[in-house]
Structure 1
Amino acid sequence: MVQRQVPKPSEIFELVKFRKPSLDLTGSRLEQAQTVEDLRRIAKRRTPSAAFDYTDGAADGEVSLARARQAFQNVEFHPGVLTDVTNVDTTVEIFGGPSAQPFGIAPTGFTRLMQTEGESAGAGAAGVAGIPFTLSTLGTTSIEDVRAANPDGRNWFQLYVMRDRSISYGLVERAAEAGFDTLMFTVDTPVAGARLRDKRNGFSIPPQLTARTVLDAIPRPWWWWDFLTTPKLEFASLSTTGGTVGELLNSAMDPSIDFDDLREIREMWPGKLAVKGVQTVADAVKLAEFGVDGIILSNHGGRQLDRAPVPFHLLPDVAREVGGDVEIVVDTGIMNGADVVASLALGADFTMVGRAYLYGLMAGGRRGVDRMIDMLSEQVARTMRLLQVGSVAELNPDHVTQLRELLPVERRRPQS
């Protein structure tokens, strides 16, 4: 039998801990967020539907995005034992320079629409964290202003080759003059994907004040206050601003780009050149033979061709074929530091996060991006410790098994 006694008031008071109320509501919200999904939920509450859905959504049925995230969930880790992991080294070398973490910020378009601090918040946070920041051709902050926000850090530029080649060439020259060290030549956008959420929301740049958007704004007055009291939302690299997302992309992109365009950019660009949007082993081999410095395995976050290959599934085969010739970066679907570690173990040299960054931005501006980076950094280090590896270089395929749900059907050859 358990003996019971009447508790003494002093003993009860020892257990009572009241938190001091804080007037910093943003800070309190971010402190309580423990995962990127937590940041996503905060972002959804604080951002108008059209802007949030632009970030959160993908193309057509959004199958590619769902599969990419499921692929990371279908990971089985194989930890070692009896290894001193008091200290773990998360630093890597990528595209000729250092990164304090094995992930960087991916290029995102229309970023100031998500939250008015936009790319300046992302670049500044990346600089403090010692990781690379990538500016999109469809960014809403200029190349020069990103450099000002991250003067001592690593800045990369993502390039769309447009119908008017002179615009693209001018951007390449400006990025080089601003000290950007890596150029991402994007190859998966001959035309815009079918972003159905955007069409249903009537999403346009700049956003239009309609009865629907006004009703949507009522519970989010701070977003509209920021939008209306800060500099006009414009593309920093394009002169045409008005229209739906699909119209803007289709007016800027060129379905005729080919290896001659890649060769032209290679000759112009003085830094490292990576090709973004690689989705087959054969193309990875071609690009390695061409002489690019890196390839980014990506299906554009599921925003272009729906049911495209899952980059994480493609990774081991690509690493086996060209891992010794080019550096390999993976994006699409990364929501946790464990996803980053799994990618490194299967042959990636680096990873990139896009939506996770934007969820943090929408949740709390610059401080939200800082929180996202800290969160992923903690998850990377904790996963490495639990695997009992002391550095990124120690990660290898023995640490991970991909538990595949989507197995290709064996093709039968017709009988003669």
Structure 2
Amino acid sequence: MPVITNIEDLRRLARRKVPKALFDYVDTGSYDELSYRANSAELKAIRFRQRILIDTGERKLSTTMLGEKVAMPVAIAPTGLAGLLYGDGEMVAARAAEDAGIRYCLSTMSICSIEDIRSATKGPFWFQLYVFRDRAFSEQILARAHAAGCTALFVTVDLPMRGQRHADLKNGLEVPPRLTPRNVFDIATKPAWAMSVLRGKRKTFGNIATFLHQKAQTGALAAGRWAQENYDPTLSWNDIAWMRKVWPGKLVLKGVLDAEDAKKAADHGVDAIVVSNHGGRQLDGAPATIVALPRIADAAGDRIEILFDGGVRSGQDVLKALALGARGCFIGRAHLYGLAAMGGAGVTKALSLIESELRLSMALTGVRDVAEVSRDILFDDYSARLRNV
């Protein structure tokens, strides 16, 4: 086992552990990947002010996200197919998040079901919804999420239809899947991965399969095809009232990238937004989320809680997002690399790396409490650049 010192180490290990089609599903973006690559590049471009002779012997990372106490301002993002990267992957990741004192958000397109996550954890978790054309699905699954103790609903609003991801098409990761000699050989060379997934509780989209079973439709192909055909491009601001009616908990819009949309979200009374470009997997050429964040924070940060995702690979990235107006950050790929590389231990390692990097960077920028983080910790040249974006 190599020495793991950062998320990139987990990424490299994951690449060796899982089939190429699944690794590329996690590791790539849409079209030319301009937005996907910009997410990380723009975060890296930010520079801190190094401060000295400030007593940072005690640093407080604990805070609240959506009014819930968390050990640090980080949550695990909803991601599809985690249970195919590692057997029972969503359950494993949810337990790791709970052990770390942070929240886990389950995807509609998860392999494990809502009820599986409930059985694997003790405390609350969050749920992400894709609003499909069949609104009966949404109403039923939200009732299940509420019954399972989910306290917040994240409605993804940047996927009225699926962006094209070249790697998935080339690898045959589509509905139905396309097997090639290369795929078959690749899978055959990953016996540890295969055994892990075969031992897992489910091999299809657990949340959708439960719904389709009532319609006498079963199997992974049926679930995948149903989802592919039912994304709803008619979803609009008029549907917020319906969402409020069917969901009694906190309501969050995930996929906001424009200041005007942030203000509209606040006008419609949602509890929070996630500044996100879907990890660079939807509209290619959209701005990096860290570039959009300060403008959104200036426009609506005093009216609505702002969360952030996109390119977060370290505690330093978390600190930069907090400085630019986020209340907390989601990690998607970072935890998936850990999951694919080492299962639950890998997710725990990813969270530990981020926590230790955040704690150290706070000390070197003179910050004692994450609640005190502001743009003052950023180097002036970058602050000026942001004002001109």
Q: TM-score range by the shorter chain?
A: over 0.9
Scaled by the length of structure 1, what TM-score is found? 0.86
In the other structure, the counterpart of 1:263 is 241
What amino acid is aligned across from residue 366 of structure 1 in structure 2? G
Residue number among 320, 333, 337 corresponding to 2:298 in the alignment: 320
Give CA-to-partner distance per residue, 1:163-215, whole Å, 9 cap, x none: 10000111111111111111001100000000110000001468665422221
Q: Name 1:145's counterpart in structure 2.
A: 116
**Distance in 1 between residues matched to 2:364 and 2:244, nearest whole Å:** 42
CA distance in 2, matches of 1:332, 1:166: 31
Q: Distance in 2 between the 1:293 and 1:409 partners?
A: 29
Q: Which residue of 205, 212, 217 corresponds with 2:182?
A: 212
Matching residue's letter, 2:292: L
The answer as to 2:350 corresponding to 1:372 is: yes
**How many angstroms does 1:320 deviate by?**
1.2
Which residue of 2 is the match for residue 182 of structure 1? 152
1:393 to 349, 367, 371: 371
The C-alpha deviation readout for 1:57-96, integer Å capped at 9, x for no partner, is 1101111010110011101101322211111101111112
Local SS of the residue matching 2:274: strand
Q: Is the 8 A contact 2:172 2:179 kept in 1?
A: no
Q: Mind listing any 5+ residue stretches in structure 1 that lack a counterpart?
A: 1-27, 411-416
Give the aligned residue type for 2:183.
T
CA shift, 1:258, in A, is 1.1
123-132 or 109-118, which deviates more: 109-118
Q: Map residues 101-180 of structure 1 onto 2, 5 A cutoff.
A: 101-152=72-123, 154-180=124-150
**Secondary structure, in 3 states, of the residue corresponding to 1:85?**
coil
Q: How many residues align?
A: 380
Q: 8 Å contact 1:117–1:366 — kept in the other structure?
A: no
What is the rounded CA distance, in whole Å, between the counterparts of 2:41 and 2:226 in structure 1? 31
Q: Distance in 2 between matches of 1:254 and 1:338?
A: 37
2:378 and 2:54 mapped to 1: Cα distance? Answer: 18
Letter of the 1:186 counterpart: T
8 Å Cα contact 2:175-2:224 kept in structure 1: no
Distance 1:87 1:70, change over 3 A: same
- Residue 97 of structure 1: aligned partner: 68
What is the RMSD of the two structures over their aligned residues, measured on CA atoms? 2.3
The whole-number CA distance in structure 2 between the counterparts of 1:327 and 1:198 is 34
Moved over 6 A (4+): 406-410
1:76 and 1:400 in contact (8 A); partners too = yes
Q: Which has the larger radius of gyration?
A: 1
Comparing 308-317 and 198-207, the one that deviates more: 198-207
CA contact (8 A) 2:307 2:327 kept: yes
Give the match's secondary structure for 2:32.
Answer: coil
> Which deviates the most, 242-251 or 202-211?
242-251
- Which residue of structure 1 aligns with residue 22 of structure 2? 51
Question: Do the aligned partners of 1:142 and 1:237 also contact (CA within 8 Å) in 2?
Answer: yes
Number of the residue aligned with 2:215: none
User: What amino acid sits opposite 1:327 in the alignment?
Assistant: E
Partner of 1:8: none
Match of 1:279?
257
5+ residue gaps, structure 2, are: 213-218
User: Per-residue displacement from partner, 1:324-377 (whole Å, max 9, x unpaired)?
Assistant: 111000101111110000000111101100000100000000111011111110
The offset of 1:111, in angstroms, is 1.1
Q: Partners in 2 of 1:92 and 1:112 — Cα distance?
A: 30
Residues 202, 244 of structure 1: 8 Å contact kept: no
